[in-house]
Homo-oligomer: A and B are copies of this chain.
Amino acid sequence: MTERVVLAYSGGLDTSVAIGWIAEETGAEVVAVAVDLGQGGEDLDTIRKRALDCGAVDAVVADARDEFAEQYCLPALQANALYQDRYPLVSALSRPVIVKHLAEAAKYHGATTVAHGCTGKGNDQVRFEVGIGALAPDLKVLAPVRDFAWTREKAIVWAEERNLPIDVNKKSPYSVDQNVWGRAVETGFLEDIWNAPIEDVYSYTANPAEPRDADEVIITFDKGVPVAIDGETVTVLQAIQQLNSRAGAQGIGRLDMVEDRLVGIKSREIYEAPGAIALITAHQELENVTLERDAARFKRQVEQRWGELVYDGLWFSPLKDALDAFITKSQEYVSGEIRMVLHAGRAVVNGRRSEDSLYDFNLATYDEGDAFDQTLAKGFVQLWGLPSKIAAKRDLQRGHS
């Protein structure tokens, strides 16, 4: 029986060429798998047809948008996940869900190998292969671009020789990855980190510098899940989509940063993530209102580690599972409403209300009704400072620093 290879298929030049190349090189049958994560562009049927035209024995297309929103973007939102305090893990979140579909397709089609089109200097190869290793440890992995040094030029020649139905001239000057959680752009002139991005780079967001009216939005959360926007019930996917649209129209969520890749180099990245940034901003402030202080402080460490793990390709890992247990527990009371103004590139919270609030007006107020017993403070302050006071006495006597 002929071996089968499942290929992560985007519809583009590289992976279209890979179908035939893998078949020729290995003698295997190739099954193409394309997953819709809200990246827009061509419809899935077109992509499916192209895969078959390029020689795939079968082509699987899956609408995984709700799955992606609920099982991948939502945990990231609850973790306020921002790698290097900035990047909402757009591509990093998408790889595990693609891996899941690849592993399922491999099982269904009896494949022994999974193939992907990643290069050897990016993070995505790690996310693909470590993910496959976790979900289907017996599958082999094929990475033609990396392990056989495929280039765009070679791919064009190959496609033209075989007359594949691909427009080889359609080349963006930018290298782009996008899904409903955001959009990542790399490109030649941005590799000089002194160069500023130009407006042409962006697609999810309008120019924040252009004058326009502000947009006020109220987001309702229930246990850390966004469940309504301006009072209208939404799914997680709809929440992201609507905020992509409304926050994107205000130019919110543009990022320009130098980033530490797992493979050990720094790279320059441009991101757009209007919905993600708006949702995380709202969620963070609702946590300020509903999380107890010590829990909030420790959660920041959990959030950082969560972000690093997911960035580093370890979505499917025991530590990720245990951090998720912590985060899920922490969300028990993260319920309420956040009012936010979207304008000129910024999502600014200006109101919050929650039946689970830990903000206590009577303890906080300096006006009438103050319930805080100030006589307790003296003892607190004295004992709070006692260790540093004893140390200071020692230091004064012993003469250092």
Contacts and interface: CB of A to CB of B under 8 A. Distances in A.
A137 B396 contact: yes
A163 interface: no
Contacts of A85: 85, 284, 300
B321 A196 contact: no
Interface string A226-254: 00000000000000000000000000001
A193 B332 contact: no
Contacts of A383: 263-264, 376-377, 380
Nearest to A355: B398
A391 interface: yes
B288 A257 contact: yes
Interface in A93-150: 119-121, 125-126, 129-130, 133-135, 137, 143, 146-147, 149
B257 A285 contact: yes
Nearest to A213: B209
Interface stretch (A27-35, A45-53, A176-184, A364-372): A364-372
Nearest to A400: B332
A172 interface: no
A365 B319 contact: no
Contacts of A4: none
Interface in A302-348: 304-305, 308-309, 312-314, 316-319, 321-330, 332-333, 339, 343-346, 348
Number of chain copies forming the complex? 4
B284 A258 contact: no
Contact of A301 (B285, B304, B312, B370): B304
Interface residues on A, range: 35 or more
Given A294-B314, A376-B379, A194 B352 contact: yes
Given A196-B350, A208-B346, A264-B387, 17 more contacts: A85-B85, A120-B377, A134-B391, A186-B366, A191-B364, A192-B361, A193-B289, A257-B285, A265-B363, A265-B386, A266-B360, A293-B387, A295-B318, A297-B304, A301-B301, A318-B391, A376-B382
Interface of A: 84-85, 119-121, 125-126, 129-130, 133-135, 137, 143, 146-147, 149, 175, 186, 188, 191-197, 208-209, 211, 214, 254, 256-260, 262-268, 284-285, 288-289, 291-301, 304-305, 308-309, 312-314, 316-319, 321-330, 332-333, 339, 343-346, 348-353, 355-361, 363-367, 370, 372-396, 398, 400-401
